[in-house]
Amino acid sequence: MVETLQREQVMGWLSEVADPEIPVLTITDLGIVRDVDCSDGVTVSLTPTYSGCPATEAIEASVIAALEERGVENVSIRRVLSPPWTTDWISEAGRNKLRVYGIAPPERRARPVACPRCESSNTEVVSEFGSTACKAAHKCLDCLEPFEYFKCL
């Protein structure tokens, strides 16, 4: 039972580790924390959002730092590449945080992307490439505001 309590405590701490590219999201919002094993030190299993993600090493360092700051010794990271991460793993809370932050969350429906500011579906793609590889640039044709869309992966 103590092992479960330790795991839950570590998961709570990890829920405070921000994504370096979209700081409004945590790594648990993104769903990249696959497991926490507290049997021999702490091993955190993480799945990168994609194999070439430049934030992977920064996230791993942030996890280690967050746990060491709380007195956890012997922290290790295990990269889990299979199954690959998908935007389906983003929590509902994470999707809401994206929307409030001004980024349209990923949707698998074949319909226009809704503007996160005015909720209009009268939008258009400006560029398939946004500020990071996982986002695309869009524009709302009603409120005329530009916004990013978190692409489905």
pLDDT tens, residue by residue, 23-76: 999 999 999 999 999 988 899 999 999 888 889 999 999 999 999 999 998 999
Q: Which residues pair with 136 in a beta bridge?
A: 149
Does residue 110 carry a pLDDT above 80? no
Of 32 and 133, the one with more pLDDT: 32
pTM of the model: 0.84
Helix (H) or strand (E) holding 135: strand 135-140
Quickly state the pLDDT bin for 81 (edges 50, 70, 90). very high
Does residue 2 carry a pLDDT above 60? no
Does residue 103 carry a pLDDT above 70? yes
* DSSP code, position 17: P
Of 44, 126, 49, the closest CA to residue 94 belongs to 49
The pLDDT tens digits for 3-27 are 445 899 999 999 999 999 999 999 9
Burial classification of residue 126, based on how many CB atoms lie within 10 Å of its CB (0-12 exposed, 13-18 middle, 19 or more buried): middle
